[in-house]
Amino acid sequence: MMKRNMKSVIAILALGVFSSCQMVAQNNQREERKPPSIEELFEKMDENEDGMLSKKEVKGPLKNDFDKIDLNEDGLLSKEELEKAPKPERRGRPNRN
């Protein structure tokens, strides 16, 4: 009788742990990925470390909108220009600006 109760308790605990792991995994999937900060963009893309991003250095949506963001039309993006740039639209969601 004691073994039977112990097995039941262990089974219930295992089920509880499994359920909580599933809930955590689902919550992590629902969390939105945040876009990289300007500092992170420069850290990843500024290959020559001059504090500016050229067309050769940029990738992704930033490359597509390079000319719109390059306000002074010098062929380089500064941190200030990126701060003033319109936020790209997220797939399936309108801008919150």
pLDDT, tens digit, for every residue of 44-95?
A: 999 999 999 999 999 988 898 999 999 999 999 999 999 998 776 655 555 5
CA dihedral 10, 14, 20, 25 (to 10 degrees): 170
41 CB contacts (<8 Å, ≥6 apart)? 53, 62, 82
Chain length of the chain: 97
- Global pTM value: 0.57
Q: CA–CA distance from 75 to each of 11, 50, 68, 69 (Å)? A: 64, 14, 11, 10
